[in-house]
Every structure is written in C-alpha cells, then in structure tokens.
C-alpha cells in the first residue's frame, strides 16, 4: 500500500478511535446519573432496561475500539492490509469501507 494511503487510513482510524472513546465517556457519564433517579418516580423496569442497553452499547463500542487499536498496531508493524487468512493484499476499496477488517472478501 502506498505511504499516503497508509497515512490516510491511519488518520481515519485515529479519528474513529477518538470518536469511540468520546462515545464511551458520554455513555459512562450518562450511566452514572441514572443512579441518582428518585425511586418514587423512576420506573425501575425502564431504568434497568436502559442500563442494560447502555451495557450492550458500551461493550460493542469497546469491541470496536479494540478492533481499531489492532488495526493501528498492524499499521505500525507494517502488516496492515494483508489478509490474515490467505496472506493476500486486501483491496483498497474494502479497506476504505471497512478500515478495521483483517480479511479479504474471499476469506471474510
Ligand atoms: Zn484472504
């Protein structure tokens, strides 16, 4: 992959990482305030459902964040863009659409 493409992919991943970190912070901040709800007013079933949703969302954000970290580590290691299954170069168009993918379309 050309150096400028790699740089632009790294920039995309870094933006993605800060966006995910920001969303996680927001989620955790929002999560904390839910503990201050007055029991007389809050529908406890509703609160539990919202906390459950926040938990699911937080875990999927953490998963995405881990994928972004892995992709960034592969850029540093010089192995980014190589399919982990067959060893072929993953086409640029696919990396453009899915910057954290580690497999080519045939192996996905
Ligand atoms: Zn492959």
Distance 107 CA to ligand 1 centre (A): 4
Which range has the worst mean pLDDT, 36-40, 45-49, 71-75?
Answer: 36-40
d(CA 97, ligand 1 centre) in Å: 16
CA distance 13 to 71: 8
Dist. CA 90 → ligand 1 center (Å)? 7
Residue 94 Cα to ligand 1 middle (Å): 12
Reported as a single tens digit per residue, the pLDDT across 53-80 is 888 999 999 999 999 999 999 999 999 9
- Rounded to whole angstroms, the Cα distance separating 76 from 93 reads 21
Ligand 1 centre to CA of 80 (Å) is 13
Interval between CA 69 and ligand 1 midpoint (Å): 21
On the CB side of 17, CA atoms within 13 Å amount to 15
pTM (2 decimals)?
0.79
pLDDT single digits (tens) 95-106: 999 999 999 999
More confident residue, 39 or 47: 47
CB-CB contact of 100 with 70 (8 Å) = yes
- List the domain boundaries for the chain: 3-80
């Amino acid at each position: 992959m050309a150096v400028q493409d790699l740089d632009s992919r790294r920039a995309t991943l870094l933006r993605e990482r800060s966006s995910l970190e920001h969303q996680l912070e927001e989620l955790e901040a929002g999560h904390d305030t839910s503990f201050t709800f007055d029991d007389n007013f809050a529908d406890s079933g509703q609160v539990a459902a919202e906390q459950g949703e926040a938990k699911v969302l937080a875990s999927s954000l953490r998963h995405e964040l881990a994928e972004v970290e892995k992709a960034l580590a592969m850029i540093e290691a010089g192995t980014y863009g190589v399919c982990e299954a067959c060893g072929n170069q993953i086409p640029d168009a696919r990396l453009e659409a899915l910057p954290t993918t580690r497999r080519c379309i045939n192996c996905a």
